[in-house]
């Protein structure tokens, strides 16, 4: 845990200053557990809410979404493609699905279509699905809604926008079965 | 034409002469063709004869053309009588029979010509039509091309938009996350140093650029060494003053920092779904 500083400079040409810091490599502090195991056991944290399902293939955006959702007190099950989102939906129970659109193996549109189709066949309660996507055209929004999604949030989003969406679909006062805010 | 027989009649119809002697004396006054000739006209008859008594003797199976011709006196055109001349037209008749096929041939040929013309016209029309279709296809193709290009452009822009928005979301999101956590003393220090370095770089660079960057220079299981760099193209520092700057700036020499406790949420290989419990993270 230490650091160094230094600089190089040439008169009339410019300067380069640098600072080097040594950080401890983080331990695996994020509690990633096997989804099936997680579904079989109640959440260990103070949160006993139904988890949110996050389908996002981009690691950084996954991190941002998970950190933010955790800060809001939500448990998160995450998958990295649409195919696994359908699997997760079949196995688990979620208050909300945040669905990226462009993902490998199966995109969010197709995953939503399949989930909606299975819901119809099983006569199951419709899970809330919100598109969180960098496809930001109006037609993209229409495509998402046409595929059966409930809402749409385009990237990049602000903290407020994200909070608004989460609060709209998973109100803190009635997080498990709350109706549309 | 071969003359087979010649007869001469008086105006009263009496046969005055015939190359077939047995016919001399016979009266033809009631014969329509004789009368026609007697009135100054011509009359002919074509008939097929099984047998015919010709000048040269009996003939069999001949086509014979007989013609009644008025005979006039040379000086005053006075009708003296009627002559009848028999001619053998068998050869002509056969030729004529043959030539009767000609109309068929001609019609056939005409039809053939018409057919060829039609074929030609159809062929030309086909060519024209083909050319038209080619133009049409060209038009359709170029329209499709334009459409495809337009779509490709739209797709490109959409992809560009997507490819820019995705990392931007990460950058802004990380920024938001960082903004939500407080800084401890050492971090406040680090921030002060970097702020000063960037501030000075901007201050001493009248035109050009100031680059601030950060990268991991060493990575191990326990340590991550990150180098923050501030680079300017300003006035620089004279060599004789550099040691002085170093002393004032780097008096403490060493820093220590705790880890930022984020970990990448990576999926386990054996399961599609991974869970993270809701609880507060941070420093």
Digit-coded pLDDT (tens) for B4-53: 888 888 888 888 888 888 888 888 888 888 888 888 888 888 888 999 88
**Whether residue A156 has a cis bond before it, omega within 30° of 0:** yes
Across the interface, whether the CB atoms of B233 and A158 are under 8 A apart is answered no
CA neighbor of B253 nearest in space, from A2, A119, A8, A111? A2
What is the pLDDT at residue A164? 93
Q: Which residues share a beta bridge with B227? A: A20, B215
Across the interface, whether the CB atoms of A7 and B246 are under 8 A apart is answered yes
Whether ipTM exceeds 0.90: no
Q: Of the ranges A131-145, B175-189, B204-218, which is most confident?
A: A131-145
Angle of helix A59-71 relative to helix B90-180, nearest 10 degrees? 40
Task: Kindly tell me if the per-residue pLDDT of B233 is higher than 60.
Answer: yes
Res. A31 pLDDT band, cuts 50 70 90: low
What are B209's two structure tokens? Answer: 């650029």
Q: pLDDT for A53-87, tens place per residue?
A: 999 999 889 999 998 998 888 999 999 999 999 99
pTM of the entire predicted model: 0.54
Q: pLDDT for B106-127, tens place per residue?
A: 777 777 888 788 888 777 777 7
Task: Kindly tell me if the per-residue pLDDT of A6 is higher than 70.
Answer: yes
CA neighbor of A130 nearest in space, from A115, A111, A145? A145
Residue with structure tokens 């105006």? B11
How far is the C-alpha of B275 from the C-alpha of B273, rounded, in Å? 7
What are A138's two structure tokens? Answer: 């109006």
Q: What is the mean pLDDT of residues B171-180?
A: 82
How far is the C-alpha of B280 from the C-alpha of A43, rounded, in Å? 14
CB atoms within 10 A of CB B273: 26
Residues of A in contact with B202 (CB under 8 A): none
Task: Kindly tell me if the per-residue pLDDT of A101 is higher than 90.
Answer: yes
What is the pLDDT at residue B67? 87
Residues of A in contact with B261 (CB under 8 A): 26, 29
Q: pLDDT for B44-65, tens place per residue?
A: 888 889 998 888 888 899 888 8
Is residue A99 within 8 Å of A108, Cβ to Cβ? yes
Residues of B in contact with A46 (CB under 8 A): 278-279
Residue with structure tokens 């060829």? B116
Across the interface, whether the CB atoms of A9 and B172 are under 8 A apart is answered no
Sign of the torsion formed by the C-alpha atoms of B23, B29, B34 and B37: positive
Mean pLDDT score across all residues of chain B? 78
How far is the C-alpha of A146 from the C-alpha of A136, rounded, in Å? 15
């Amino acid at each position: 845990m230490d650091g160094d500083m230094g600089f190089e400079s040439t008169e009339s040409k410019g300067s380069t200053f640098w600072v080097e810091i040594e950080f401890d490599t983080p331990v695996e502090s994020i509690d990633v557990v096997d989804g099936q195991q997680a579904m079989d056991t109640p959440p260990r944290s103070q949160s006993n809410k139904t988890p949110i399902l996050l389908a996002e293939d981009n690691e950084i955006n996954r991190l941002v979404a998970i950190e933010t959702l955790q800060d809001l007190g939500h448990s998160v099950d995450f998958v990295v493609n649409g195919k696994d989102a359908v699997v997760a939906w079949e196995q688990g129970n979620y208050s909300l699905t945040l669905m990226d659109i462009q993902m490998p193996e199966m995109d969010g549109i197709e995953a939503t279509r399949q989930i909606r189709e299975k819901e119809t066949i099983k006569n199951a309660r419709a899970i809330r699905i919100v598109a969180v996507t960098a496809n930001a055209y109006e037609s993209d929004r229409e495509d998402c809604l046409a595929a059966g999604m409930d809402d749409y949030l385009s990237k990049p989003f602000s903290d407020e926008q994200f909070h608004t969406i989460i609060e709209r679909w998973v109100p803190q006062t009635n997080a498990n079965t709350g109706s549309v805010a | 034409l071969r003359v087979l027989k010649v007869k001469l009649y008086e105006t009263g119809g009496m046969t005055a002469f015939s190359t077939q002697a047995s016919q001399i004396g016979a009266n033809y006054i009631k014969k329509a063709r004789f009368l026609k000739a007697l009135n100054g006209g011509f009359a002919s008859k074509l008939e097929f004869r099984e047998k015919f008594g010709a000048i040269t003797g009996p003939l069999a199976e001949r086509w014979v053309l007989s013609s009644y011709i008025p005979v006039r006196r040379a000086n005053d055109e006075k009708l003296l009588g009627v002559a009848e001349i028999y001619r053998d037209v068998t050869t002509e008749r056969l030729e004529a029979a043959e030539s009767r096929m000609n109309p068929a041939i001609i019609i056939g040929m005409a039809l053939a010509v018409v057919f060829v013309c039609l074929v030609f016209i159809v062929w030309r029309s086909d060519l024209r039509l083909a050319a038209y279709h080619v133009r049409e296809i060209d038009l359709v193709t170029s329209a499709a091309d334009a459409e495809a290009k337009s779509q490709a452009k739209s797709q490109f822009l959409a992809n560009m938009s997507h490819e820019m928005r995705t990392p931007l979301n990460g950058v802004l999101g990380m920024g938001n996350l960082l903004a939500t956590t407080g800084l401890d003393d050492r971090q406040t220090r680090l921030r002060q140093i970097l702020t000063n370095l960037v501030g000075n770089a901007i201050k001493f660079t009248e035109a050009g650029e100031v680059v601030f960057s950060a990268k991991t220079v060493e990575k191990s299981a326990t340590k991550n060494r990150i180098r923050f760099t501030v680079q300017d193209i300003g006035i620089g520092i004279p060599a004789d003053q550099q040691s002085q700057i170093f002393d004032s700036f780097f008096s403490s020499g060493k820093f220590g920092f705790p880890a930022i406790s984020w970990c990448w949420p990576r999926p386990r290989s054996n399961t599609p779904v991974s869970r993270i419990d809701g609880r507060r993270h941070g420093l």
